[in-house]
Structure 1
Amino acid sequence: MYLREVTLLKDNMPSSREYPFSLPLVRKLNKLRLSRPVTFFVGENGSGKSTLLEAIAYQCGFNPAGGGRNNVYEVDRSESALGDYIRLSWNPKVTNGFFLRAESFYSFASHIDEVAATPSYGGLSLHNQSHGESFLSLFKYRFGSRGIYLLDEPEAALSPARQLALMRIIRDLSDRAQFIIATHSPILMGYPDADILNFDGDRMETVRYEDTDHYQITRRFLENRNSVLRTLFEDEDEDDTV
């Protein structure tokens, strides 16, 4: 464990009418305490989990567009609006790590091709691998040392089998690395002994894996697919006749 606490500096924030300060997350949260090597941020789209993760990356000195402390490049939305309004508490502080932002990974791969004299991710350019292979190459060859790793929806490019492969990589690094992961994947959030922080509801709280919407909806669908689809499509037909 390295990062122990995230504090929102609300007294210094701009008007709550402006995004991202209008997010329910900002209104609900004062301090976030981290107590385990692996923490998942879960919640619906727009709940603020990726925004908070990006702000943490900014305060770690990582590129908010994705990368580590030495990856300097720019893409649209490469600034963290919330980053100046949080404080991180460490014990001990680490400066090594990485921020994976799935939506701008292509730009990160292009940046690596520009600055690297030779391909450093399994001997191949990240652009010369499939999307899923390039993600796994990043995890294998970049995530190896003591540090903090922030992953924003890493499942975006990973098949179920490769999500399991990522879990094994996390396990192998868990004695010297800390992971904070924003995800919608019921596979990834099943990682053992992790904290799952739910951003939905009236306040942020730790939830059991089996109590997440992701687990319950997926299980209901897999066990009762025909019934779920029948109900879903019947509701749709009723809406069309109104």
Structure 2
Amino acid sequence: MIDQQYINYFEIVKEHIADASVYPFNIPAIQRLQKVTLHPKVTFIIGENGSGKSTLLEALAIQYGFNAEGGSRNFSFATKRTHSPLSDVLRIGRGGLRARDGFFLRAESFYNTASYVDDLEAEKPGLLGHYGNKSLHQQSHGESFFSLFMHRFSGRGFYILDEPEAALSPQRQLSFLVRMHELVGAQSQLVIATHAPMILAYPHAKIIELSLPEPRTVRFTDTEHYAVYKAFLNNPEGMLNQLGIYND
């Protein structure tokens, strides 16, 4: 499969860490992380809040050449230097393919990415054609995300997405699954951090759980995301009673 993907693996070079007691090297999942082999189509990174998902994706994006706050390799803006030093000790193994396209979507800083796109449009009119011919700021949060997926992502690319579901309704999450499958069919490889069970259900994928005693690959039906949502939807009243939330 190595000759059929853009990135084959990533790993933390532990001997390059100056002080393992400081952030982010003191995050348990980061301390225990071994070599991570990526799926040639989609790799999901999951885990509890604070488990290191976003930090890991940020490091992978920087090491690949993307802007730390999001965007492509050509994006050079920085509102504040806050990225961790993890990228300095991360090593990636490239596959046999070379990507024609690529993008790093970071939900928490997407506003800054949208502003930079507007700045580029002012300098070179016509760029918005890659984003649906409309400023991302003139669209709702969810619409702007979807414009990115539909218009900017062109296939034969390596895409890193940190919580793409953050602005998407359940119906749009289903539409995102369709778009993701189209991109996979167009020789794309995606690495995605998500909490969304519907997105995690995508079958042509590998799921890596960071919140376990040590990071490992899990099946969709073995994830906490699946179990919690299933339990709640099967018996919402019972779950609310367990939580101490009662109807008046």
What range describes the TM-score normalised by the shorter chain of this pair?
over 0.9
- Greater shift in the superposed pair: 130-139 or 46-55: 46-55
Does 1:167 pair with 2:177?
yes
* Cα displacement (A) at 1:234: 6.5
Normalization by structure 1: what TM-score? 0.93
Partner of 1:58: 62
Structure 1 residues 18 and 93: alpha-carbon distance in aligned structure 2, compared to 1, 3 A threshold = farther
Residue 130 of structure 1 is aligned with which of 131, 137, 140?
A: 140
> Per the alignment, in what secondary structure is the counterpart of residue 77 of structure 2?
coil
Structure 1 stretches of 4+ moved >6 Å = none
- What amino acid is aligned across from residue 244 of structure 2 in structure 1? F
Does 1:90 pair with 2:94?
yes
Does 1:212 pair with 2:213?
no
> 1:80, 1:54 → 2: CA distance?
8
* Cα displacement (A) at 1:75: 2.2
Does 1:230 pair with 2:235?
no
> 1:57, 1:171 → 2: CA distance?
22
Partner of 1:108: 113
> Per the alignment, in what secondary structure is the counterpart of residue 82 of structure 1?
helix
> 1:145, 1:172 → 2: CA distance?
8
Partner of 2:79: 75
> Per the alignment, in what secondary structure is the counterpart of residue 174 of structure 1?
helix
Are 1:63 and 1:78, in contact at CA under 8 Å, matched by a contact in 2?
A: no
Residue 149 of structure 2 is aligned with which of 130, 136, 139?
A: 139
* Cα displacement (A) at 1:80: 3.9
Partner of 2:52: 48
> Per the alignment, in what secondary structure is the counterpart of residue 75 of structure 2?
coil
* Cα displacement (A) at 1:50: 1.1
> Per the alignment, in what secondary structure is the counterpart of residue 113 of structure 1?
helix
Deviations 1:45-91 (A, max 9, x none): 11111111111100110001000100110023453421110111011
Deviations 1:94-125 (A, max 9, x none): 35311000000000000000011233211110
* Cα displacement (A) at 1:204: 1.0
- What amino acid is aligned across from residue 218 of structure 1 in structure 2? Y
> Per the alignment, in what secondary structure is the counterpart of residue 172 of structure 1?
helix
- What amino acid is aligned across from residue 87 of structure 1 in structure 2? R
Are 2:209 and 2:215, in contact at CA under 8 Å, matched by a contact in 1?
A: yes
Structure 2 gaps of 5+ residues are: none
Structure 1 gaps of 5+ residues are: 236-242
Deviations 1:22-61 (A, max 9, x none): 1112211121111331010010011111111111100110
The share of aligned pairs that are identical, in percent, is: 46
User: How many residues matched?
Assistant: 235
Structure 1 residues 185 and 50: alpha-carbon distance in aligned structure 2, compared to 1, 3 A threshold = same
Are 2:39 and 2:205, in contact at CA under 8 Å, matched by a contact in 1?
A: no
> 1:125, 1:69 → 2: CA distance?
20
> Per the alignment, in what secondary structure is the counterpart of residue 243 of structure 2?
helix
- Greater shift in the superposed pair: 199-208 or 87-96: 87-96
Are 1:197 and 1:205, in contact at CA under 8 Å, matched by a contact in 2?
A: yes
Are 1:25 and 1:199, in contact at CA under 8 Å, matched by a contact in 2?
A: yes
Partner of 2:35: 31
> 1:215, 1:30 → 2: CA distance?
25
Are 1:94 and 1:148, in contact at CA under 8 Å, matched by a contact in 2?
A: no
Partner of 1:239: none
> 2:72, 2:204 → 1: CA distance?
27
Does 1:155 pair with 2:168?
no
